[in-house]
Structure 1
Amino acid sequence: MNVITIRYYAGARAAAGVGEERLPAGLDLTQLVKELSTAHGDRLGRVLLSASFLVDGLAWHDRRAPIPSGATVDVLPPFAGG
């Protein structure tokens, strides 16, 4: 399986216009953000600047580490609430 699954939540889902999509494996987080911003436009690009990313349920902070093939990436925009 040489793909990764991207799942969008809340405002990221609205900005992307889809709840989920697949992309080729081998991207790091910086490349993924660039690819998604290009594919979906500035609205999603702005959301991605402040979003958190989980890879297979774990916070992913190293923007240069390759995302493993078969992984699921959750895009979590900042949430408001109390």
Structure 2
Amino acid sequence: MKVRVRYFAAAKAAAGVAEELREVPGGCSVGTLLASTGLGGHPVLGRSTFLVNGLTVPGHTHVLADGDSLDVLPPFAGG
């Protein structure tokens, strides 16, 4: 199955890309997908919020479906 991953701010810098289409096995969780990107242990992920299809999901255990879009949003600075 395919999942579109979009990275923002510090997550984008860590990933080296703004967006990618990942081929993942069925039943794949957010955490498993992130581990497959090489960012699994990156500190930015520990502070990030994850949205699947525009809705916040709690942590890395959410199971993804074919065609989902995962947004990785690290904390943003500013006011």
* TM-score of Structure 1 vs Structure 2, range by shorter chain: 0.7 to 0.9
- C-alpha RMSD of the superposition: 1.9
Q: Equivalent residue for 2:35?
A: 34
Unaligned runs of 5+ in 2: none
- Aligned position for 2:54: 57
Residue 35 of structure 2 aligns with an amino acid whose one-letter code is: K
TM-score normalised to structure 2 length:
0.83
Give the TM-score of the pair, scaled to structure 1: 0.80
Going by fraction, where is helix more abundant, 1 or 2?
1
User: Which amino acid letter does the alignment assign opposite residue 10 of structure 2?
Assistant: G
* Superimposed CA distance per residue, residues 4-55 of structure 1 (whole angstroms, 9 cap, x where no aligned partner): 000011111111110111112432022122222x2x586xx11111110000
Q: Where does structure 1 differ by over 6 angstroms across 4 or more consecutive aligned residues?
A: none
Partner of 2:43: 46
Gaps of 5+ in 1: none
